Amino acid sequence: MDTPPAVNLRSKTRRALDDLNGATTSPPSTPLKTTRNSPYLPTPIETIVLAAFPVILFFGTVFSLLSPDVRSSEYDPAAQAHVQDSAPSYFARKSNLFNVIFVKRGWFWITAAFFGFILTHPATAQATARVQGTLRWALVTTWWFFVTQWFFGPALIDRGFRWTGGKCEIIEEKVEMGEGDAKEVFTAVACKASGGRWRGGHDISGHVFLLVLGTGFLLSEVGWVVMRWRGSRREERSVVMTDGATKTATVEAQGLKGEPVPGDALGLGGKFAAAIIALSSWMLLMTAIYFHTWFEKVTGLVTALAALYGVYVLPRFIPAIRQVVGLPDRSMSPIKAPVNLPELVKAAFNKARSNGDLTYYATQVTVLNANSTPFQLRFSPALANKPVAQKPKKTDEPRKPFDPFESPEKGPLFIAEIPSSSGHNLVLNKFAIVPEHFILATKEFKQQTDLLERDDLAATYSCIEAYRQYGEQHQGYNSELYAFFNSGSHSGASQPHRHIQLLPVARMMDGLPDGARWDVLAKQLGPQHVSGLPFLTFAETIHRDMTPDELHGIYLSLFKSAVDAVESHIGAENDSGNGGARISYNLAMTSDRLAVLPRLAEGAAIFKDGTAVGNLALNGTVLAGTALVKNEAEWDALRSGGDGDGVQLLEVLSKIGVPKDSGGSHTKKL
C-alpha cells in the first residue's frame, strides 16, 4: 500500500499558521486588528453617546445665562424653578403637559418602550435574551426606585438632602415653637404635603437623574441590538474571561448583517423607544435651561451614570455577573435559517426528484465494527454511472469552469437563502446518496480551501438549530442535522466554491437493519469513546447560546491543533519553503459538537485475497461514521471478515489521517 504524499506539507501548515496569526477571515492575507478597548471603560461609541448628556446640560446652563428672558425671570431656589407666575417659557412651568404626563411618569414610559422593543424585535426572540434583558431592566429600575422612591425608608435623594443640612421649613418653625419634631418629615413629598418647603442642603436633580438614566438605558438596550442587526458597526466591547484573558465581546459576528432597511432594523418597538429617547433628550434640555442649579444637575447626572456603568460596563470585567445579566444582544444572531427548514428541504427534494432535476442513488447498507466503533458501509452500484464533468479539449477556447453554486436562485435545486444574510444560499445536492441532502453555499465565490468565516459557521449552526426547534414542535420527529466540510486535496472535496453539506440524521439511518447499533460518530468524540479510531481528531463541545465569534474561535483553535499535529507528524525534512495550500481536513458539526480531522490521504486501496479490487475514498462523512463504495467487489471485500468485521475498513482509516500514536484524540469542553 502506498504512503500518502507529504511533499510541501510543512510549508502548507506554516501558511495556515501564519493565517491564524494574521487573519481569521477571508482573504487570509488581511491582518487582524488585535488592539481592544478596555473592558473597564465605555467603548468609543458609548463615550460619544454618554458625552451627549453633559453637553446638553452644559448647553442648557449656558443658554440660561445668556438668554435675556431667562436671566430676567426670578428664580426660586427652594422650588428649584423660576417663579411660576412669570416663567420665561411654557416649558419652565412645572404644570406643562410634557412634565406632568411624561417626566412625572417617566419610568412608566421607559419601561413600556423597553418591553415593547424586547418582546417584538426578532433579534431578541430567544428566551435567554429576554430573560437577561429583563434582569438588566430590574437592576436599573431598582436603582431608580432606591434613588427617587424608597431606600429602606426615605429615598436616597431625600436622605442626601438631610445629610447635607437640608430641612423642612414649616417643621423647623414648629420645632422652634415646641410644637413638633424634626423627624416627623424626612421626605420632600411629606414636607410638601404638610405645607412646608425644603430649604438648605443639596438636592440631587431628580429630573436629570430620571431622564439620563432612562435614556441611557434605552440607548444601551436598543442601540447595540440595532447596530448588530444591521451590521452597521464592528463590535467594540471587550470582556474579561474567567481565566483573566481579555477578549472581544463579539455579541455579533464580525461582518454579519441584517436587512439594511432602517424600519426593519428598528421595528415598531424600536421606533417607539426612539421616540421616547428623543422626547427625554428634549426634556433634559428644558430641565437644564429652566430648573435646578448646575451642581444639582451634575449630581443627578453622576448618579444616573453610576447605575449605567454598573449594569453595562461592570459585567464586562466580572464574568460571574455577565453570565447572569448578559450584555445587550448577547444571544442575538441575524443569521437565521427558516423556522420551517425541514419542510422546505423535504418539499424541494421531492419536487426536484419527481421532475428529474436531481438523482437519488439507492443504496444497500450494513454496519461494520471498526475496532468497537460502528461504521455504516453503503453500496450504490448506480454511482459508477454518475456523470463526470468533461475537461475541455485543448482546441477549445478558454472558458470559465462550471460553478454549480453560482446564482442558483433560478434553478430547480434552490431551497432558500438564509434570511437577514446576504451571504449564503441553501441548495439541494444534485447527486444524493442520502435523501434530503442539502448544501449551504456562499453567494459570492470563495475558496473551499480558505479558512471558514464566522458567518459560514453561524449560518451552518442556524440550520442545525432550525431542525432542532422544528423537532421540539413536532414530537416524534428526528430533528438532528449533521453538517460537514471538506477542505484540501485529501479531504474528498470536489468543488472549489465554498460550501458546507448537511444531512438529516434520520435519513442517514434509512435502510439500517433493525437493532443496528449506529449513531453519528462526531457526537461521541472523546478519548473514552473512540479510543479504537486509528487517526487523530480534535473536538470541542458547543451549545446554542454561543455567539458566532465564540463558535468561530473554537473552530480556529481546533484547526490550529490539526495544523500542529500534521506539522509534527510530517517533520522538518519535508519543508520545501515554496508555500501552497493549507492542510487538508474535514470538519463536522452537530448541535453539541464541533470536530476537525486532519487528512493526509483521501483514501486507500481495498484488497481481496491479496489483490487490489478498488479504492475507498472518504470525505467529511467519515466523522459521521459512514463510508461508501461504488462496486460490488469493494462491497464484498470490506465485508469479507463476516459478522460485521471491519478490519480492512480500519486499515483504510489508519491511512487517511495523522496516526493515533502521534498524540491521541482530543476533546475539550467549555
Q: Which residues are catalytic?
A: 207, 292
Short-list 201, 144, 198, CA closest to 171: 198
Distance of CA 551 to the CA centre of its chain: 8
Do residues 337 and 465 touch, judged by C-beta distance below 8 A? yes
Q: How many CB atoms lie within 10 A of CB 195?
A: 10
Short-list 126, 441, 25, 421, CA closest to 256: 421
Question: What span, in angstroms and rounded, lies between the C-alpha atoms of 649 and 375?
Answer: 9
Q: Which cell is 200 given?
A: 438648605
Q: 3-class secondary structure for 321-382?
A: HHHHHCCCCCCCCCCCCCCCHHHHHHHHHHHHHHCCCCEECCCEEEEEEECCEEEEEEECHH
CA dist list (Å): 6 to 47, 395, 563, 618, 658: 54, 35, 14, 18, 12
Do residues 557 and 667 touch, judged by C-beta distance below 8 A? no
Short-list 451, 600, 606, CA closest to 535: 600
**Whether the bond into 27 is cis, omega within 30 of 0:** yes
In degrees, rounded to 5, the angle at the alpha carbon of residue 559 between the alpha carbons of residues 554 and 562 is 130
Q: Which residues pair with 605 in a beta bridge?
A: 615
